[in-house]
Amino acid sequence: MSFSILLHTIIVLVFSTFFLCNTSTPLSKPGNYTDHQALLSIKASIVSDPLQFTTSWNESTHFCEWAGITCGRKHQRVTKIDFHSTKLGGSLSPYIGNLSFLRELLLYNNSFTGIIPEEIGRLSRLQVLNLSNNLFSGEIPKNISHCFNLITLRLDYNDLTGRFPLEFQSLSKLQYLAVFKNNLVGEIPAYIGNFSSLVKLSFMGNNFEGKIPDSLGQLHKLSFLSLAMNNLSGAIPSPIFNLSSLEVLEVLSNRLHGYLPLNIGSTLPSLEHFNIGNNHFIGSLPSSISNATRLRQLDATSNGFTGRVPSFNGLDQLDYLGLSDNPLGNGKSNDLDSMLSQLLNSTTMLQALFLAGCNFGGVLPRIIGNFSRLRGFSVAGNVILGDIPSEFGLLFNLEYLELYRNQLSGTIPSSLGSLQLLNYLNLAGNKLSGEIPSSIGNMSMLSKLYLQSNNLLGSIPISLEESKNLLELNLARNELNGYLPKEIFHSRSSLVNLDFSTNHFTGPLPSEIGGLKHLVSLNLSNNMLSGALSNTLGSLAGLTDLNLSCNFFQGFIPSTFASLKSLQALDLSRNNLTGKIPKFLGNLPFLNRLNLSFNEFDGEVPSEGIFKNESDVVLSGNNKLCGGLGKFSNVYRGILEDGLTFIAVKVLKLDVRGASKSFLTECEALRQIRHRNLVKILTSCCSIDHEGNDFMAIVYEYMVNGSLDKWLQNHSENSEENNDPRNLSLLQRVNIVIDVTNALDYLHNHLETYLVHCDLKPCNILLDGNLVAHVGDFGLAKFLPTLASSSHQMMSSAGIKGTIGYAAPEYGMGSELSTYGDIYSYGILLLEIFTGKSPTSDIFNNGLTLHNYVRVALPKQVTEVVDPKLFHTSANATSKSLVHRDLILECLISIFKIGIACSVELPRDRMNIGNVLKELHSIKDTLLKLGDINTIPW
């Protein structure tokens, strides 16, 4: 070999050795290179890293030294990824499946989105997978079943959908399984009972349905079981009550029913948390619960438990007891006194005691002052009499006190001012009298104070100025008087909701009210306040609801109201306000309810913004106004020369395209129809006005009770009063729908040529002095051609016929005009009348409609969709009234079924109007036999 060749060979060997010695470790072995590339792909999928957690992931250090990465010592392969609580966002790269030595993947408490990659199923060594509290969506990957070494699987707090995979039955080593707070559906798989090592299981907060599998009773190592907040039904399988290791059992907020085993406390000796609230359990609470001596929390709220409450002797660790909304008492005896005495002798650790709605009678026992650890106490909604004991002032740890809706009398004890930690106080709906004690201002932590619906006298204590944490203050429906104290309206205030309505407050509105910068809702209605509306109200930028109705305010609406950009509801009715209605009200972007009725406004009604929708604005009682509230017309109230006869005059807006056609259509329709449940036309006019412009108008008989929508929108679901004169009773609503049905039956079945109304909705239903309903506004009506009359249909012109929410869905697709379209609108109208909810309400979104809202509630949850103002609460319900209630609810179910049958999607599947009429008359006959059925006893 020549010297030159030898020298060349030596140089190559030297450089090769140098290169190999300085090459980084990830490239030295194929496995390391795979892990390195997988981690880089994972980093590339992370789009948000505000804490700069992955900045150490660079070529200057070995990947085993990167933040959140743990490697095995022998092979330098990734065995653990821990990104928990690092605020990372983005997707999880499918390359995660290449980390074949990975044993733990901890990504919880971040913002990862997208699907969980199915490549995770390639991680056969994986033991811990925790992806909880992220934003993962889609279904749970079935391939995770290949991770047969999994011990912990946590996918809770995400947006996962679909069913729990059947393939997961291979994960027999699981000890901790949690998928709570997702959107999973279907039944809980029975195979989970084969996971013999399972210690913790939580399926809480999903949409699981069906029965709880008996097989869960085979999990003898189980200490934690939560199936709460699903749609499960049936009884709790008896084998579950034999799981002696069980420490936590939560099945609250389902549809479970049945009795609890008499020996429950003996078979579950380790039980610490037992939560079965909001179900349908019945019978007595077993006295054997006292044998579960480790019990700390017992929540049986909202069930059907009856009879005496067990003594709870031996439960000296009990710190939470919730028995609210169970008919445990008889409304007369001293059940509450004896129960509190037993508890006082049984447990010294009690911190929360909730006994609302249990039908307890008697008085509040003074031994309440001995529960020194108590932080929360409620006996609301019972039949408790007498005074509020001053001993409540001894409960220095109390944070929550709820005594509302009883029959308590006397004064509010000044000793309550000693409760320095109290943040919630509700004494509403009693018979309390006297003045509000000034000591109430000493409760420095108070955030919510409710004293409404009592008989309190005097003025508002100025000491409330010191309650700087107060968020909600409600003193409505009392006998309070005097000026509103300006001292409590200061810039340091945290007030969000303020309600002083229905008292006897006088004087002007303090200008200091503009200092309540956090205020969202202000209600000062039904007082005797006077003077001008304060300009400073315009400073309340966050205000959404303002009600100053039924006072003596005068002058103009301040121009500063234009700054109330968040306002949704404004009620200035029944005052002495004057001037023109400001046009800027039409520019408030969120305003959807405006009541200016019964003032002295004059001039023309604005036409923009909210004024375009007549159902959202009330202007009656302003006799100097002109114009107002339709697409093709303005409606005015007039009076004939006799000075006695009122009329309604509909003047067409001829500058609006289609107005003249609407005029001609309505005149033609009303010329050929006559019925007691249709509006009566007196005359029509087609002429020239004083300026030489075309003039068209229709004169109708005046309906003194206005349109139906005003009655429906006037109700308040939060009202505690059921004698609102603007509230329609149950029988009145039935009569109204029968009137509308009669009108529709006449139009569809008793004319020579069938007439389709095309715009049936509450604002087109007018009520006379006897609340008889009359269908009006035939501007969109169509006579069906004779050749088509047998099928009651004709081809539609372009565009939706009617109003969104009420118009039949087939019209939106250009389908034929037909009587079926009116039936659909009628069905929606009927559902609105008995639920009090408009089909265009904000709650109806993401596929939820008024039709579906009612349909899914029937029959068992009908009370959840009925207009709340049709109920009244009776503490001493008799067996007769309860029978009446059940019959009334059956009638309501039948009514709702009619509404649903009329508003189904397919036109020919809708109910025939003649059959509707027969069923409604049958329902009315049933109700009339019951006597006084204005409201439903509850």
Rounded distance between C-alpha atoms, residue 708 and residue 832, angstroms: 11
Q: Which helix (H) or strand (E) segment is 825 a member of?
A: helix 819-835
Domain assignment present for 250: no
Domain endpoint, select from 675, 701, 727: 701
Indicate the pLDDT class of residue 80, thresholds 50, 70 and 90: very high
Rounded distance between C-alpha atoms, residue 151 and residue 101, angstroms: 16
Mean pLDDT for 29-36 is: 82
Residue 678 gets which letter from DSSP? B
Q: Is the pLDDT of residue 106 over 90?
A: yes
Q: Is-contact 515 491, C-beta < 8 A?
A: yes
- Burial letters for 397-423: b for 16+ Cβ neighbours within 10 Å, e otherwise? ebbbbbbbbbebbeebbebbbbbeebb
Sign of CA dihedral 113, 119, 124, 125: negative
Residues 6+ apart with CB under 8 A from 632: 652, 653, 656, 658, 659, 662, 663, 779
Which range has the worst mean pLDDT, 77-81, 246-250, 558-562, 679-683? 679-683
Q: Is-contact 826 741, C-beta < 8 A?
A: yes
- Tell me what pLDDT residue 721 has: 40
Indicate the pLDDT class of residue 405, thresholds 50, 70 and 90: very high
Mean pLDDT for 136-148 is: 96
**Claim to verify: residue 563 and residue 672 sit in the same structural domain:** no
**Claim to verify: residue 787 and residue 863 sit in the same structural domain:** yes
Which range has the worst mean pLDDT, 56-70, 242-256, 361-375, 797-811? 797-811
Domain endpoint, select from 604, 628, 652: 628
Mean pLDDT for 314-324 is: 94
- Tell me what pLDDT residue 937 has: 53
Q: Is-contact 289 264, C-beta < 8 A?
A: yes
- Tell me what pLDDT residue 627 has: 55
> pLDDT tens digits, residue range 497-545?
999 999 999 999 999 999 999 999 999 999 999 999 999 999 999 999 9
At residue 130, φ and ψ (nearest 5 deg) are: -125, 100
> pLDDT tens digits, residue range 454-463?
999 999 999 9
**Claim to verify: residue 651 and residue 721 sit in the same structural domain:** no
- Considering the chain, what is the average pLDDT of its residues? 87
Single-letter amino acid, residue 535? N
- Tell me what pLDDT residue 875 has: 43
**Claim to verify: residue 787 and residue 933 sit in the same structural domain:** yes
Q: Write out the residue range of the structural domain in which residue 147 sits.
A: 7-152
- Tell me what pLDDT residue 815 has: 73
Rounded distance between C-alpha atoms, residue 686 and residue 654, angstroms: 11
- Tell me what pLDDT residue 782 has: 82
404: three-class secondary structure by DSSP? coil
Indicate the pLDDT class of residue 30, thresholds 50, 70 and 90: low
Domain assignment present for 929: yes
- Tell me what pLDDT residue 726 has: 63
CA dihedral 494, 498, 504, 507 (to 10 degrees): 50
**Claim to verify: residue 653 and residue 618 sit in the same structural domain:** no
Biggest distance spanned by C-alpha atoms of the chain: 136
Residues 6+ apart with CB under 8 A from 862: 889, 892, 893, 896
Q: Which residues are catalytic?
A: 759
Indicate the pLDDT class of residue 133, thresholds 50, 70 and 90: very high
Domain assignment present for 340: no
> pLDDT tens digits, residue range 696-721?
888 888 888 888 988 886 544 333 34
Residue 633 gets which letter from DSSP? E
- Tell me what pLDDT residue 543 has: 96
How many separate domains does the chain show?
4
Q: Which helix (H) or strand (E) segment is 255 a member of?
A: strand 255-258
Residues 6+ apart with CB under 8 A from 517: 491, 539, 540, 541, 542
CATH number of the CATH domain containing 789: 1.10.510.10
pLDDT: is 647 or 369 the higher one?
369
Q: Is the pLDDT of residue 557 over 50?
A: yes
pLDDT: is 864 or 9 the higher one?
864
**Claim to verify: residue 545 and residue 527 sit in the same structural domain:** yes
Burial of 753 (C-beta count, 10 Å sphere; 0-12/13-18/19+): exposed
Rounded distance between C-alpha atoms, residue 560 and residue 580, angstroms: 15
Mean pLDDT for 178-191 is: 96
**Claim to verify: residue 797 and residue 917 sit in the same structural domain:** yes
- Tell me what pLDDT residue 66 has: 96
Indicate the pLDDT class of residue 492, thresholds 50, 70 and 90: confident
Rounded distance between C-alpha atoms, residue 567 and residue 554, angstroms: 21
Rounded distance between C-alpha atoms, residue 600 and residue 553, angstroms: 11
Indicate the pLDDT class of residue 759, thresholds 50, 70 and 90: confident
Q: Is the pLDDT of residue 376 over 70?
A: yes
Rounded distance between C-alpha atoms, residue 346 and residue 339, angstroms: 10
Indicate the pLDDT class of residue 173, thresholds 50, 70 and 90: very high
Domain assignment present for 424: no
Mean pLDDT for 476-489 is: 93
Single-letter amino acid, residue 464? L
Rounded distance between C-alpha atoms, residue 298 and residue 740, angstroms: 52
Residue 629 gets which letter from DSSP? B
Q: Is the pTM for the entire model greater than 0.75?
A: no
Mean pLDDT for 725-733 is: 82
**Claim to verify: residue 29 and residue 99 sit in the same structural domain:** yes
Single-letter amino acid, residue 402? E
Residue with tokens 């179900």: 279
Which range has the worst mean pLDDT, 103-112, 193-202, 724-733? 724-733
Mean pLDDT for 767-785 is: 84
**Claim to verify: residue 776 and residue 906 sit in the same structural domain:** yes
453: three-class secondary structure by DSSP? coil
Indicate the pLDDT class of residue 13, thresholds 50, 70 and 90: very low
Indicate the pLDDT class of residue 860, thresholds 50, 70 and 90: confident
Which range has the worst mean pLDDT, 5-14, 80-89, 739-748? 5-14
Helices first, then strands: H and E counts in the chain: 11, 54
CATH number of the CATH domain containing 684: 3.30.200.20
Sign of CA dihedral 192, 194, 195, 199: positive
Q: Is the pLDDT of residue 777 over 90?
A: no
Q: Is the pLDDT of residue 896 over 80?
A: yes
Mean pLDDT for 111-122 is: 97
- Tell me what pLDDT residue 29 has: 60
**Claim to verify: residue 683 and residue 718 sit in the same structural domain:** no
Residue with tokens 């109910």: 911
The percent of residues above 90 in pLDDT, for the chain, comes to 62
| Stated length of the chain | 938
- Tell me what pLDDT residue 710 has: 80
Structural tokens at position 343: 């508890």
- Tell me what pLDDT residue 9 has: 38
Domain endpoint, select from 136, 152, 168: 152
**Claim to verify: residue 19 and residue 123 sit in the same structural domain:** yes
Rounded distance between C-alpha atoms, residue 521 and residue 489, angstroms: 14
**Claim to verify: residue 522 and residue 547 sit in the same structural domain:** yes
Structural tokens at position 185: 């559906």
Domain assignment present for 28: yes
Sign of CA dihedral 716, 719, 724, 727: positive
- Tell me what pLDDT residue 420 has: 94
Helix 879-902 × helix 819-835 angle, to 10°: 150
Domain assignment present for 621: yes
pLDDT: is 34 or 622 the higher one?
34
CATH number of the CATH domain containing 109: 3.80.10.10
- Tell me what pLDDT residue 5 has: 38
Domain assignment present for 614: yes
Q: Is the pLDDT of residue 19 over 80?
A: no
Domain assignment present for 2: no
Q: Beta 183-186 vs 159-163: how paired, if at all? A: parallel
- Tell me what pLDDT residue 874 has: 45
